[in-house]
Structure 1
């Protein structure tokens, strides 16, 4: 039986390599002027250079060899690595319009409602309008200041938990603290409270599901490196896992959306008769949706995508 599985694995690998080579030969793209970089291997390109627990250090070493603007062929995807402030300024500022779009990776398409969030949405009118909303409504100085109490309460809670773990009270014994996890939980909790308002049972469910989504989306997904081979997503099971998490997130966000919509008071006066300065981020997006002043229709899925990426 073991020999049979090995034979099937070898056969599958052979057909996979044959399919990649056939599609590559069929495209026949003309050679492009690319930055210097390590010579890619057949099929996998330069993926082998990043098979380490510290890929950022490997990129640093490669940049020292090939320069601050380097080309890596990762599977079928050409990637340009920038590793100096001067070149980064050229990319992010001088030639911003050329590089402003993001690749439509599987996790962004599934978790991000078809890449409709402000991070992965392609450059265009939709992205410009969404960016304007974020700058004027969600990230303005007045809006950030309105969440000061939320930040103070969450930081106080963090300090108290560290004090308790260090044996600062008589009810707890000293224990080791994973500060990385606590700081990540702090930032996630602040972001979700700013998005949804007060804490509730859904708040903890939401954060737990977001952590699961981040874990799935982190690292390399083979299908993203070989976009012409869509079936890899099905074979690997990654698409199924992401869709399952998306369904749970969708259910939680739908409940929160309906709860916010059903609260008393008009949206222009804020939820429960509060002023605009006391709105949470979801209230702001629902108010904009209700006014309908945008050049596109702001759907519930668009709102959920913005809130979700804001909470990551």
Structure 2
């Protein structure tokens, strides 16, 4: 009986402790709301105590739920997600105000547990604070990876890897049974990124069947989309430890960290004794500061900074373009007229040459239209990476408090009926003769964002996508797999 009394006493204390925390969280919520309500805030749905508007996001994908709410409450909304005030932008005009007109105020990044861990505490490019160190890293990445000259110089590698993809598809098709294209596409972009970062591919020569890191990449990408209790209720962050969520995060982080550490150490061993080697891959460019060749990059001697930048490129350069290519092929197979038109264009230009080369792409406008329409319908990040306001400001006469988390719903913007006729339909022809592009000038199409925080790898990724798509439709005729009869 004494044991049961002790258990009951402990359980009572735990409940009391938990209720106390909820009380203080609620008190903080009320105090903050009173402070905010002194100003004219953006419209918002009815708010519930403690949880705020979290219940509105439970049963749909976030970008779809937010689009639904914006149709009722307007393109600029204020949501209270737990303890976190969150601004949601769902129109090109509001996006322009956030990403361009007031970019200097909204270019910060909020603290999110997963991205904070995978960026080694904000040491990377995507999630680092907007400061001089961030500018220096971005400039280095543009010079070595993302600049036009670097993209052109990588042409031979792109063509080699696309040829390996075509050979792998040909082998699979020869067996006469349906096959899954998705792992091949992930392997393609994994090999391309690996060669750019580390100077080597990870598959067997000529093979593009399944990446050695396929499972790890998919697990990490899936986990980076998760949010923790602590992200919405900072005072309850300890719950993430009790539920085991933190340990899962740490397990996936350590797996990726180990992979990057292994590549760095191997490259450092190969460089030892050669102080003045010219960079042949991006890791070399990051490591050359250790040889004293670039004194402005001394901070890179912290290996965590190197790993953080490599982590950015490894994750952003592998799964998003593979997913975009997968969506493009799915839409083309669902729309045979578009597939036939694309194949006629590519085969008419390339003829019997046997492959599409990069100089052919300038003569293939429909390839570009197909990819634009794919990115419009299926942006790799339907909600752009979150921004944070650095000080109080106004948008459209509404007060935006400092420290607000900002989401731009690129998915909803690309379905705005003021700019897109029949927005749910796959119609690449809408871009024929149109000046609308995705490079941050036309806010109705921003799959890569805009302004200072725009994705720096856009040109590199699109060069790979255009070449891969053109070759895949040139070399093969495609159809979706038929369902097997269960009768």
Counterpart pick for 1:31 among 2, 19, 35? 35
Alignment check: 8 A CA contact 1:206 1:252 kept = no
Q: Tell me if the contact between 2:26 and 2:49 (Cα under 8 Å) persists in the aligned partners.
A: no
Change (3 A) 1:269 1:286: same
Aligned to 1:40: 47
Which secondary structure does the structure 1 equivalent of 2:127 belong to? coil
TM-score by length of 1: 0.82
- Give the TM-score normalised by the residue count of structure 2: 0.55
Match of 2:148 among 134, 141, 148: 141
Deviations 1:44-84 (A, max 9, x none): 21112111243322221211111111111111111111111
Pairs aligned (count): 293
Find the counterpart in structure 1 of residue 296 from structure 2: 294
**CA RMSD in angstroms, aligned pairs only:** 2.9
State whether residues 82 and 233 of structure 2, in contact with CA within 8 Å, keep that contact through their aligned partners in structure 1. yes
Deviation track 1:234-254 (CA, whole Å, cap 9, x = no partner) reads 112122122222222222222
Displacement after TM superposition at 1:26 (Å): 4.9
- The Cα shift of 1:292 comes to 4.2
Distance 2:203 2:167 in 1: 21
The 1:268/1:117 distance shift into structure 2, 3 A limit, reads: same
Using the TM superposition, name which of 155-164 and 55-64 deviates more: 155-164
Shift of 1:120: 0.8
Structure 1 gap ranges (5+): 1-7, 271-275
| Cα drift, residue 293 of structure 1 | 2.2
Matched-pair contact (CA < 8 Å) for 2:289–2:297: no
Instruction: Report whether the alignment pairs 1:22 with 2:29.
Output: no
Match of 1:281 in 2: 282
Give secondary structure in 1 for the equivalent of 2:42.
coil
Change in 2 beyond 3 A, CA 1:73/1:26: closer
Q: Give the match's secondary structure for 1:286.
A: helix
Q: Is the 8 A contact 1:267 1:286 kept in 2?
A: no
Partner of 1:177: 180
Q: Tell me how far apart the structure 2 counterparts of residues 280 and 267 of structure 1 sit (CA, whole Å).
A: 16
> What are the superposed Cα offsets for residues 173-226 of structure 1, whole Å, 9 maximum, x if unpaired?
3114354x5434433332222111112479955554333222222133222111
Gapped runs of 5+ residues in structure 2? 1-9, 205-209, 316-487
Task: Find the residue that maps to 2:158 and give its secondary structure.
Answer: helix
| Residue of structure 1 equivalent to 2:373 | none
Counterpart in the other structure of 2:193? 191
2:229 corresponds, among 222, 235, 240, to: 222
Q: What's 1:82 paired with?
A: 89
Structure 2 residue 130 is the aligned partner of structure 1 residue 127: no
User: 1:157 offset after TM fit, Å?
Assistant: 2.9
Deviations, residues 115-136 of structure 1 (Å, cap 9, x unaligned): 2110111122221221222223
- Paired position in structure 2 for 1:5: none
Q: Is the 8 A contact 1:50 1:58 kept in 2?
A: yes
Contact 1:162 1:177 in 2 (8 A): no
Correspondence for 1:65 among 48, 72, 79: 72
Query: Which of 242, 249, 257 does residue 256 from structure 2 map onto?
Result: 249
Q: Is the 8 A contact 2:113 2:231 kept in 1?
A: yes
Larger of the two Rg values belongs to structure: 2
The worse-fitting range, judged by mean Cα deviation, of 23-32 and 50-59 is 23-32
Q: What is the rounded CA distance, in whole Å, between the counterparts of 1:38 and 1:188 in structure 2?
A: 43
2:160 matches 1:153: yes
2:48 and 2:24 map into 1 onto residues whose CA distance is 16
Deviations 1:15-67 (A, max 9, x none): 54541232341573342243112122112211121112433222212111111
